[in-house]
Structure 1
Amino acid sequence: MSIFTRSFDPITGCSIWEEKHPDYDHHQEVARSAFADMLHDHERNEKYFVALKQAIEKVHSKGKKANVLDIGTGTGLLSMMAAKSGADSVTACEAFTPMAECAFEIIQKNGFESKVKLVQKRSTEMTVGENGDMKTRANILITEVFDTELIGEGALSTFKHAQQFLLEEDRIVIPNKGTVWIQVVESKTIQAWQKINEIRDPESEKVLISPPIAMNQCHGSSAVHDLQLSQMPYDSFTFLSNPVIMFNFDWSGKEPLIFNENVTKSTKAIASGTAQAIFMWWSLIMDPDNKVNLSCAPVWQHPDALLSETKDVESMFNAADRIPWRDHWMQAIYYLPNEIKVDKDQEIGLVACHDEYSFWFKVEPDPTQKVEYPRSPVCDCSVHLALSRSRIGQLNDKEKQAKYLKVLKKYITPDTVCFCFSDNSLIGLSVSNLGAKKTIILEPNNLSCRALQSFITANQLTDKVQIVQKVEDLPKNMKVNLVFGEPYYVNSIFPWDNLRFLYLSQKYAPGIPTVPMGGSIRGVAVEFKDLHKIRTPLGICEGFDMSCFDKLLLDSSKISDNPVEVHPLWEYPAKALTSIFDLAYFDFRNEFDETQEIKFKGNTPIFGAGSLNGLALWIDWHLDIETTVSTGPLTQVIPGERITWDKNTRQGVFLFRKIKNVTCQNAIDWSLTFNLKKDRIFEFNFNVKKS
């Protein structure tokens, strides 16, 4: 029997009921668990395996039995490694029911059911004793409970509880230690994700919009900004310090784990500049002898990068190809509460704090002074709550601003009345200072409305700008001359969800000129270097058969996932296998029929040879006949070469279930169906064939 779920239609803005598989929630949870990505990390697996073998040998050399506890076993991989390495007993715990059931099947399939006991509980619920989950305490703990922030998944409490209640006093813990590194940087590119700059008329340089003072003095969002730092262009930031170790965590318990900690360290600035942000990463010492190191460092600090002294953009990208790829453990950016100017060779103070789950940082210009430890970042201005970091980046994109303003100026007169159909749009406010008589902005989101109002007040636009939160409240008797949008909507997921602009302009302002005047869905076939691994079957992983897990993920994904997902592709290297091709064009000047099913289909040739594992999809907005703003590649796409993507938008990605080796003898047949009445509004199909 089917179930019905309530969801949001991104085009119409209405709530809709969708018929789903009866176990939809279960399958969605499994599909989103992302275990596969981690299991493709060969270095991680290998170093856990090596450390396990050493630990078991060390325990046996003392004449003791090796009793292993695996917390958060997932697929059971680490437990099977322990059993294969000669452990006398292995207890695995896994609280996530679908994963626990899958782990039991995998352990059985690989012949370890008599050696591994699976407990479906959280480790903090486990008991020890004759009738407990473990008869005796374990003397070896193996676990992987880390995230990009190292402690964000509750590692501190997990290890502390295990030390107190589940492990012997003389124990070996894998990993043995964790180290947190930071580096101070200056970067306009990075700061553009945190603070909103002035918007200026590209011709006269007149300031059109200034940010509220409170916004640029705000600490910003408390959510960690995790990303693939190795993919940041090396010329987009300047190091102001060398890497510094700020925290050490002894997972074995020989030194106590502290849940709330403040640390200050002094370091010498290696360049002059403005301290704006902190880069953070961590590493693990896997064994008690400190010989097995697993590093999550970015390319310039990674021990496997083999970088020469010359660190230009090209050499950095090439070196990044040599280090392990991880999407489960990335690096992080922390924005400093106050920008501090520093001089080369100046001694500066690095202030670091953490609670049970997160870190925050500060830079002091004089480390000899008494330190006031900063509070955990909290947004005081509403803007960082309403706007994502990528949206702030979009609002700071001067090239796109200039294109919009140049086109809009062609329409603006002292009598112009405008509708702005775009969420948290500062272009909408800029139009008023270009000379428009009145701008009515549709802003349904309460947080966005509050943030936008702060800009209106700061720029004294109360008489020229009106915010409307419901489409029903749009003025009906007002003569409107222009409708514009960027387009951007808070609830949009896929690039084409922003075609809501077409729906709104046609439904509530038919026949009125629009900017943009049209939109094109475009694509390119690619060979991803790594991204495809998040959906690639494991098969045999480190000598263990994982086909049960592959089937579970595939079945769940078919039931719960859209075939197209979204990713910020600038973080994921890919080379083009085709030229850019157009899948669909929507002319906003033509009447829009929301009941009509529109079908597009075509064929695009493949140029050269490669491993076809995905297609990248995005939308280009045509402001007028001459001006286009793209949400995809920033430079010309040349088959066989790496693609450079817009950093402030996420692109659609279609990943092939079966990776195909292709040549110029192949082509891709594709089709796209657009129908508002269906559960899946945009349906894409791609097939590889001989040309």
Structure 2
Amino acid sequence: MNSESIQRVFQLKHDPLSCTSEWVVIEDNDDAELPDTSTDGLLDTTSYLDMLNDSPRNRAFRLAIEKTITRPCHVLDIGAGTGLLSMMAARRMTTLGEEYPVDSNCMVTACESYLPMVKLMRKVVHMNGMGKDINIINKRSDELKVGTDIASRADVLVSEILDSELLGEGLIPTLQHAHDMLLVDNPKTVPYRASTFCQLVESTFLCNMHDLCNSEAKTSDGVHLVPTGLENLLRPKSQQYAMHVNAMEKEVKLLSEPIKIFEFDFWKRPASHGELEVHVKAISEGRIHAIISWWVLQLDSEGTIFYSTAPRWVDSNTDTGGSNLSMESVRDWCDHWKQCVWFTPGAGVSVSKGEKVVLQAAHTCTNILYYLKKTQRLSNEIPCSTSNARDLQLTLPPERIAVYGDNEFRLSMFEAMIKALQGKAHPLCLAVDDSLFLPLTALHICGNSHVISLSPGFKENVVRYLEAVADSNGFSKDRFEYVTKAKLTQTHENKVDLLVGEPYYSALEGVLPWQNLRFWKDRTRLDYLLSKDAVIVPNKGVLRACAMFLPHLWKSRCCLNDVEGFDHAVVNKTLGACGDLPYGKEGPYLPFFIWQCGDTKQLSEEFTIMELDFSKPITSTCTGKVQIDFTKSGVCHGFALWMDWVMDEENSVVVSTGPDKRYWKQGVKLLAEPVTVTAGCSFAVIEASMDPTSSGELIFRHSFS
């Protein structure tokens, strides 16, 4: 092959445990039959597989495409992915070609900017014998030029560039450019329209995920991460936070009917900004802690095919943002589109039944924003952020804010720190991770302590925050400092008496639980800085697991074969399929909040796979073997895995991150085939090994009997 016909893309691949990165070379070529392994596993934690397993979505798009394309024409597919919608359009045009004349302008153009996905699409299109029917272009749609990349403007636009909030993947700027430069006047589109809806709710659980100030007021340890006057120092990272609200249906009190907010027509150029004010009548007394939002797609112009991401409790009619009566709108549990939560600032807004509140909504090109106020006056219960506080502000995942407000967690950490500092006159404490609570706790417990924070995720940002909080807590600023790891080794001659971590690394929020063993790596690298009697908190890590019934999650990660009549088997390895794998093949580990995974049930007792001793540096591979008995009958789809952090040498203080702890993600190992088990009769043997000296890859083997 001529070297000029090959394009190369370099993708950064990060190893969270070893803290190293490497550039993976991905080459582009035009030979669809050329074997390629450079993208294997590269997309295994993305939502592509889950989306392609969403049968209601696939069927809805197919029916709408067949209904919308009425004669051969030029069809443009933006964000083509594996090419499914392009192939639907091409197949429809082939059928119509028997009735209508076809000219050179009748074609399907598939536009996809991500090279690994383009390579995969070429394989899928080739596998289905449609290579001559679809023109695949590896560019962003706003890079396409008529007359250069495509011969003419497109008559029909098909696209699926939607996230859980609707706008986050750049829907508006993409449509704007398409209408300006790529589409004919008054084009046909699939989808035809998208409408957003929301509902006011009371939920203590959701309140805890953003209101640390009031959570801290109920604790007794005396440590204040958000002191009075600095309530907005810590805030949730995402204003619209995607999550499966159906999982907390029994904990949500509805305070309004569903409210229609914005409407976006795909068939015309959308506006970059929009504002709306709605007077909402409370249907019940309560406190508005959050606004839950979702969207509804109308896929055809006549309004007969719909797809909705509404919560399960919403009535099935389009007027309230639920599902249309069309079967295409009935969707199973899936993870690629969730609902979104907008957290009401502070302790929320109290309302009486029948009272009206003003809901102001606005959208930018990429976000939808909400503001609440009483009809008579702005709520006094919403704290105002000062400019100084904004300068100091740190953002955290909502779950981490909830952890810091959790009294059980704080008491466990507090007890462990008291034990660790006991008998130390002027202790030097080193926090190697992005912990915020432990450094302040060390300052609070021991008046002579000095704290150093490496804070690899927050870096220098944590300095202004901790100095402000230390001052508010009555600690002198000279007792705390932030340093880089390199500076630490150069300037600190005193030995470290206490090395601590929660462990929490802000850059590892979406990774597998045992990848927080970066803490052990850091502890090992810094061993020469520790005093002979240095205390390590946590003292030990315990990898735990249990067998699980997970039908929805397993189905969403199954191997693909036929997708609306198109063979997708070639994508399974690259997209990280877990279920229905060929014998001897293993799927990847996946990070999930188990409690949000649809129907779930624990089928065995929780068991320990291996223990990791942090009091000593890493020296060798860790192994474990255990036999587990099933305590409930049912179908086992896989295992949930998590870390328990043993904080002290006596094993008396343990922080668990298991499935019943909803603020932590667990790891999931799905079985290639589900296994029916019987309580009291069935058992499984688990063997596992991990080499923390390198990438920390977990090898997990299982057998059932």
Which secondary structure state, in structure 1, belongs to the residue aligned with residue 332 of structure 2?
coil
Alignment match of 1:97 (pick from 83, 95, 115): 115
1:280 aligns with 2:289: no
Count matched residues: 635
Partner in structure 2 of residue 154 of structure 1: 170
Deviation at 1:521, TM superposition (A): 1.0
Q: How big is each residue's C-alpha offset from its partner over 1:264-316, in whole Å with a ceiling of 9 and x where there is no partner?
A: 111112233333332111111111111212111112116399xxxxxxxxxxx
Q: Could you tell which deviates more after superposition, 233-242 or 181-190?
A: 233-242
> What amino acid maps onto 1:366 in structure 2?
T
Query: Which residue in 2 is equivalent to 1:372?
Result: none
Give 3-state SS (helix, strand or coil) of 2:178's partner: helix
Q: Does residue 424 of the first structure (1) align with residue 435 of the second (2)? A: yes
Q: Deviations over 1:614-635 (max 9, x none)?
A: 32111112345464434333xx
Q: 1:19 to 1:287 in 2, by over 3 A?
A: closer
* 1:241 corresponds to which of 237, 256, 266: 256
Deviation at 1:516, TM superposition (A): 4.0
Alignment of 1:41-190 (within 5 A): 41-56=54-69, 59=70, 65-85=72-92, 86-88=95-97, 89-95=106-112, 96-128=114-146, 133-135=150-152, 137-190=153-206
Q: 1:520 aligns with which of 517, 529, 542?
A: 542
**Structure 1 residues 466, 228: closer, same or farther in 2, change over 3 A?**
closer
For the aligned residue pairs, the C-alpha RMSD in angstroms reads 3.9
| Structure 1 residue 45, shift from structure 2 partner | 0.8
Instruction: Give the alignment of 1:246-265 within 5 angstroms.
Output: 246-253=261-268, 256-265=269-278
2:215/2:406 contact within 8 Å kept: no
Which AA in structure 1 matches 2:462?
S
In the TM superposition, what are the counterparts of 1:623-638 in structure 2 within 5 Å? 623-624=647-648, 625=650, 627-633=652-658
Task: Flag the 1:488–1:93 CA change in 2: closer, same or farther, 3 A.
Answer: same
Q: Distance in 2 between matches of 1:458 and 1:588?
A: 33
Q: Which structure 1 segments of 5+ residues have no match?
A: 306-321, 370-374, 634-643
Report the Cα distance in structure 1 between the residues aligned to 2:196 and 2:228, rounded to whole angstroms.
Answer: 33
Return the alpha-carbon distance in structure 2 between the equivalents of residues 10 and 563 of structure 1.
17
Q: CA deviation at 1:44?
A: 0.7
- 214-223 or 597-606, which deviates more: 214-223
Query: Are residues 73 and 343 of structure 1, via their aligned partners in 2, closer, same or farther at CA, if it must alter by over 3 Å?
Result: same
Letter in 2 for 1:332: C
C-alpha separation in 1, matches of 2:215 and 2:291: 27
Q: CA deviation at 1:27?
A: 4.8
1:362: which partner in 2?
371
Match of 1:453 among 448, 461, 467: 467
CA distance in 1, matches of 2:282, 2:565: 48
Q: 2:486 aligned with 1:462, yes or no? A: no
Deviation of 1:224 after TM superposition, in Å, equals 4.5
**1:230/1:504 CA distance change after superposition, 3 Å:** closer
Matched residue type, 2:337: W
Q: Does 1:576 align with 2:578?
A: no
Q: State the AA in 2 paired with 1:522.
A: R
When residues 117 and 302 of structure 1 are mapped into structure 2, their CA distance, relative to the original with a 3 A threshold, is farther
Alpha-carbon distance in structure 1 between the residues aligned to 2:626 and 2:20:
31
- SS of the residue 1:553 aligns to: coil
Question: Quick one: distance in 1 between partners of 2:182 and 2:11?
Answer: 43
1:513–1:68 CA distance, 2 compared to 1 (3 A): closer
In structure 2, relative to structure 1, the CA distance for the partners of 1:7 and 1:667 (3 Å cut) is same
CA contact (8 A) 2:13 2:21 kept: yes
Query: Does structure 1 conserve the Cα–Cα contact (< 8 Å) formed by 2:191 and 2:300?
Result: yes
The alpha-carbon distance between structure 1 residues 214 and 533, as it changes in their structure 2 partners (threshold 3 A), is farther
User: Comparing 112-121 with 258-267, which one deviates more in the overlay?
Assistant: 112-121
Residue type matched to 1:94 in 2? C
Residue 198 of structure 1: how far off its partner (Å): 6.5
CA separation in 1, counterparts of 2:115 and 2:460?
A: 37
CA contact (8 A) 2:77 2:86 kept: yes
Q: In 2 relative to 1, CA 461–603 (structure 1 residues): closer, same or farther, beyond 3 Å?
A: same
CA distance, structure 2, for counterparts of residue 340 and residue 473 of structure 1: 52
Aligned to 2:101: none
1:638 alignment counterpart: none
Distance of 1:125 and 1:329 partners within structure 2: 27
Partner in structure 1 of residue 562 of structure 2 = 540
Q: For residue 327 of structure 2, what is the aligned residue in structure 1?
A: none
Quote how far apart the aligned CAs of 1:53 are. 2.2
Deviation per CA, 1:489-516: give whole Å up to 9, x if none: 3355443344455566672244344554
Contact 2:111 2:139 in 1 (8 A): yes
Partner of 1:209: 224
Q: Would the alpha carbon gap of residues 296 and 237 (structure 1) be closer, same or farther in structure 2, given more than 3 Å must change?
A: same
Structure 2 partner of 1:395: 404
Distance 1:629 1:183, change over 3 A: farther
Please state if 1:616 is matched with 2:636: no
Paired with 1:630 and 1:280, the residues of 2 have a C-alpha distance of 33
Letter in 2 for 1:110: N
Q: State the alpha-carbon separation in 1 of the partners of residues 116 and 536 from structure 2.
A: 50
Aligned partners of 1:673, 1:19: CA distance in 2, in Å?
27
Distance 1:621 1:403 in 2: 11
**Contact preservation (8 Å) 1:198, 1:209:** no
Q: 2:172, 2:551 → 1: CA distance?
A: 34
Displacement after TM superposition at 1:154 (Å): 1.6
Q: For 1:565-604, list aligned pairs within 5 A.
A: 565-573=590-598, 574-588=600-614, 592-604=616-628
Aligned mate of 2:337, from 329, 341, 344 = 329
Given the superposition, is the C-alpha separation of residues 661 and 335 from structure 1 closer, same or farther in structure 2, using an over 3 Å criterion? same
TM-score normalised to the size of structure 1? 0.80
CA-to-partner distance for each residue in 1:135-169, whole Å, 9 max, x for gaps? 5x443322111111211112112223333443343
**Partner Cα separation in structure 2 for residue 532 and residue 150 of structure 1:** 26
Partner Cα distance (2:343, 2:387) in 1: 12
Separation in 1 of the partners of 2:295 and 2:192? 14
SS at match of 1:267: strand
- Relative to structure 1, the CA distance from residue 516 to residue 437 in structure 2 (aligned partners, 3 Å threshold; closer, same or farther) is same
1:392 positional shift: 1.5
CA–CA separation in structure 2 for the residues paired with 1:525 and 1:231: 23
Give the 3-state SS of the residue equivalent to 1:453 in structure 2.
helix
Q: Which amino acid aligns with 2:654?
A: V
**How far does the alpha carbon of each residue in 1:358-401 deviate from its partner, in whole angstroms, 9 at most, with x for none?**
111101212799xxxxx999995466535333222211111121
- After superposition, the Cα gap between the structure-2 partners of 1:380 and 1:567, relative to the gap in structure 1 and judged at 3 Å, is farther
CA separation of 1:484/1:198 partners in 2, compared to 1, >3 Å: closer, same or farther? Answer: farther
Distance 1:202 1:120 in 2: 55
Asked whether the 8 Å contact 2:90–2:108 carries over to 1, the reply is no
Taking the aligned partners of 2:221 and 2:11, their CA distance within structure 1 comes to 53
Which range is displaced more, 381-390 or 156-165? 381-390
Residue 390 of structure 1 contacts residue 648 of structure 1 at CA under 8 Å; is this kept in 2?
yes
TM-score for the superposition, normalised by structure 2:
0.79
Q: How far apart are the structure 2 equivalents of 1:150 and 1:479?
A: 49
**Bigger shift: 217-226 or 163-172?**
217-226
**CA displacement 1:460-491 (0-9 Å, x = unmatched):** 112684235244379654794x6554333335
Identity %: 24
Q: Which residue of 1 aligns with 2:307?
A: 294
Instruction: Give the 3 Å change call, closer, same or farther, for CA 302–612 of structure 1 in structure 2.
Output: farther
Once residues 460 and 276 of structure 2 are traced to their aligned partners in structure 1, the CA distance between those partners, rounded to angstroms, is 39
Q: What letter corresponds to residue 411 of structure 2 in structure 1?
A: A
Gaps in structure 2 of 5+ consecutive residues: 1-9, 28-36, 98-105, 319-329, 379-383
User: What is residue 4 of structure 2 aligned with on the other side?
Assistant: none
User: SS state of the match for residue 120, structure 2?
Assistant: helix
- Secondary structure class of the residue paired with 1:216: coil
Instruction: Tell me if 1:529 matches 2:551.
Output: yes
1:303 corresponds to 2:316: yes
In the TM superposition, what are the counterparts of 1:311-322 in structure 2 within 5 Å? none
